[in-house]
Each structure stands twice: as structure tokens, then as C-alpha cells.
Amino acid sequence: MAVTLNIEDGIAVVTMSNPPVNAISVADTWTLRDIFVSLSSKDDVRAVILTAEGRGFNAGIDIKEMQSVENFDFLIGSGNACFAAFAAIYRTPIPVIAAVNGFAMGLGVGLVGSCDIIVASTKARFALPEVDNGALGCASHLAKLVPPMMLRQMVLTCEPVSAAQLHEWGTVYKLTEPEALLETAMDVARTISQKPAQVVRSAKIALNEIDLYDLERHYRLEQGHTYELNLRGDGSKAREAFVRGERTITR
């Protein structure tokens, strides 16, 4: 995957690209963390857009890469990288807009849920296929996007929800056609960038301080259950079935 950063007129655009489905590696997850940490100290950056190129926003962790490592090093490294990337996005004092062009699955939901505002394509879908993968994770972030009973339904069935539905609930701020996605996100970023910079940063920090969702603690709890499932062997069995082509993920 290539993760690129472009800054122009006070707006940073972070773009993920790994055809065909934007599955993400451990190294690229750390790159995302590093980019957002670096952006946090740039006084001239007023807003950030996190987006992707290709068929979808993010299909989650690269399962084939995970299964290429025999011990638990990849699993632990992946968990640490995801935790750090989500925290860096969430903690940056700069408002972050997720521009979701297609499916956001698993880790993709974690990325979106770590942002402040969501702009989505009419073709965008959100799902947590973790149970099918023998794992848990990012329900903490999905809880910010859907009502409580929908959260349970989505986690247990692995079924997706459309951006249109999230727009009706008020989770998605702007719903747009795919070709207008980035420009719509830019319009939102420009609106924010015109406001007093220090006031916006203080507002972002204050919003994190009063947030009802303790993302970091809750996500760590989910990760603990994932590690337990892997010790039992359930996680590896599900991932091996995916690699062998015996199971596919519905997007």
C-alpha cells in the first residue's frame, strides 16, 4: 500500500492506495500513525482529510500477510499498530474528515470511527467481519456510528450498513455521489479552516475530553479477546479458510 500525504492551503489529504481492496499491512498502519503524529505539530494545518483510492476505503488488515507469519509476532504487531494509528487520528488536535469512497470493513471502521466528521459516497458500506475472521475489534468505533442494538446485530451477523442509512441517522454528515466525494470533503475542510485556528484546536481537544466513548480502553479490551481466540486456535482456523478461498467476505 502507498500512503501519501499532500498539504495545500492548510488542508492535509492523507490517501491510502493498495489495489484492489485496500487491505492494509502492519507497516502501512504504522505509517498512518506517523503521518498523523507529524500533522499534530504543524500549526499551519487547519484540517485533515483521510481518504482512499480504488474500489473501497479500507478492507481491513491484510489477512494473507498475517497468515504468512507462523508465530504471534504479526498478530501482536498488527494489534499495536492499529491501536497506535487509531489513537493518533483521534488525538490529533486538528479536525479529521473521513472521505469514504466504498466499503470500510474491520480496521476501516476503526479508522473512520477515529475521525471527527464523515463524508461518504452513496456506494459506501460499513461492516465488521471480525467474527467471520475469528477475531474481535473496532466494535468500540462502530458504536459511534450506529445505535446499540444495531451494533450487536452488525457484530454478530457481520452484515453491512449503507452510508445512506448512516446519513439518515446523522452519523454521515454529507452523502454524495462518488465523483464528488473528495471535493465535498474539501468544502467541509475549507469551512473549518476559515475558523479561528486555536479555537478549533481547543474545541477538538475538549470534545475528546468529554467524549462518552472511551475508544482506547474499549478497543484494548476487544484486542484482549482477539488474542485469547488466537491462543485457542479459532482465529488461525478462520484466517486459513479465507486464504484457501473457502470463505469470502461480502462487501
> Among 77-81, 174-178, 193-197, where is mean pLDDT lowest?
77-81
pLDDT mean across residues, the chain: 91
For residue 233, what pLDDT band results from cuts at 50, 70 and 90? confident
Cell of 28: 502501512
Beta bridge partners of 13: 6, 49
Contact 89, 83 (CB under 8 A): no
Fold of 2-179+197-243: 2-enoyl-CoA Hydratase; Chain A, domain 1 (3.90.226)
For residue 149, what pLDDT band results from cuts at 50, 70 and 90? very high
Cell of 246: 473457502
| Range 23-35 average pLDDT | 91
| Range 110-117 average pLDDT | 98
d(CA 249, CA 251): 6
HEC assignment per residue over the chain: CEEEEEEECCEEEEEEECCCCCCECHHHHHHHHHHHHHHHCCCCCCEEEEEECCCCCECCECHHHHHCCCCCHHHHHHHHHHHHHHHHHHHCCCCEEEEECCEEECHHHHHHHCCCEEEEECCCEEECCCHHHCCCCCHHHHCCCCCHHHHHHHHHHCCCEEHHHHHHHCCCCEEECHHHHHHHHHHHHHHHHCCCHHHHHHHHHHHHHCCCCCHHHHHHHHHHHHHHHHHHCHHHHHHHHHHCCCCCCCC
pTM surpassing 0.75? Answer: yes
CA 197, 85, 179 angle in degrees (round to 5)?
Answer: 70
Q: Which residue has the higher pLDDT, 45 or 226?
A: 45
Check pLDDT > 80 for residue 129.
Answer: yes
Q: What is the pLDDT of residues 61-87, one digit of tens each?
A: 766 666 666 667 777 888 999 999 999
